[in-house]
Amino acid sequence: MAKAKTKAKNDELREMVLKARDEGKVVMWVLPDQLMTAPVEEFVKQPADGILWDLNRDEVCALSNKDSIRWVNDFAVALTIRQLVKERDELRHDLERAMANHNADLNTPPD
């Protein structure tokens, strides 16, 4: 009976997560027995530390779960997210600098 209840609860959770995904949201398990939902578009604007903290996937969490081989992929996820956020931030900085230079050129009188 307990297995049937657990399966039903997991099926319900799965449906909620998939529905949220279809709505452009991410569902995270943030506290014991609490779920948090956030628009993916907003969630990914965080620094890497914030993303990894909310997902419980930073390197410390990954290494603390060595009872399961899953920690290897969790650790890889942390490194990947950090690199992607770094590249995003560098591109954003480059774009802002290019836009500032372009605007400065537009405001410079011709010779």
- Is residue 100 domain-shared with residue 59, that is, in the same domain? yes
The pLDDT tens digits along the chain (111 residues) read: 688 888 888 999 999 999 999 999 999 988 778 999 999 999 999 999 999 999 989 999 899 988 889 889 999 999 999 999 999 999 999 999 999 988 887 787 776
- Terminal alpha carbon distance of the chain: 85
CB 88 within 8 A of CB 96: no
- Is residue 33 domain-shared with residue 73, that is, in the same domain? no
Q: Domain limits at 82? A: 44-111
- Is residue 37 domain-shared with residue 67, that is, in the same domain? no
- Is residue 54 domain-shared with residue 28, that is, in the same domain? no
- Is residue 99 domain-shared with residue 78, that is, in the same domain? yes
- Is residue 31 domain-shared with residue 55, that is, in the same domain? no
Domain count within the chain: 2
Task: Give the pTM.
Answer: 0.75
- Is residue 73 domain-shared with residue 34, that is, in the same domain? no
